[in-house]
């Protein structure tokens, strides 16, 4: 097994372990994060109905650094969620470590008015 395969396997196990404990409901949906090499995406999902309530991404975000764009995504997802009458969410870091851009999105969403 190569090093890349080992890292992917560890990531998949961590993601499955986190996801097994979290589930979004109508009262408290799940705020999940996806991070590609260029962009960061956030969705508020109601798992009981199986649909996305609101979403935001950094494709058109203002900011020079990736952390600034992640902060913009957190504020934007909080605004959209509050407009959709969602104030409490469960934060799903989706297997990523809680640092850097992932933490920045969470902090900005809290400042925007969401409760975790």
Domain ranges, ordered by start, for the chain: 3-111
pTM over 0.85, yes/no: yes
Model confidence at 26, in pLDDT bands (50, 70, 90)? confident
pLDDT digits over 45-63, tens only? 999 999 999 999 999 988 8
Give CA–CA dist 30/116, Å, rounded. 10
Give CA–CA dist 96/49, Å, rounded. 25
Query: Quick one: CATH architecture of 3-111?
Result: 2-Layer Sandwich (3.30)
Give CA–CA dist 104/86, Å, rounded. 20
Task: Map tokens 């959209």 to a residue.
Answer: 80
Helix and strand numbers (H, E) in the chain are: 3, 4
């Amino acid at each position: 097994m190569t090093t890349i395969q080992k890292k992917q396997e560890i990531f998949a196990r961590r993601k499955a372990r986190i996801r097994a404990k979290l589930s979004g409901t109508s009262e408290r949906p799940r705020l999940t994060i996806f991070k590609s090499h260029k962009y960061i995406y956030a969705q508020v999902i109601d798992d009981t109905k199986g649909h996305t309530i609101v979403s935001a991404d950094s494709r058109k975000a203002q900011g020079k650094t990736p952390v600034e764009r992640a902060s913009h995504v957190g504020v934007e997802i909080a605004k959209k969620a509050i407009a959709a009458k969602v104030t409490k969410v469960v934060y799903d870091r989706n297997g990523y470590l809680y640092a850097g851009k992932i933490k920045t999105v969470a902090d900005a969403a809290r400042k925007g008015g969401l409760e975790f």
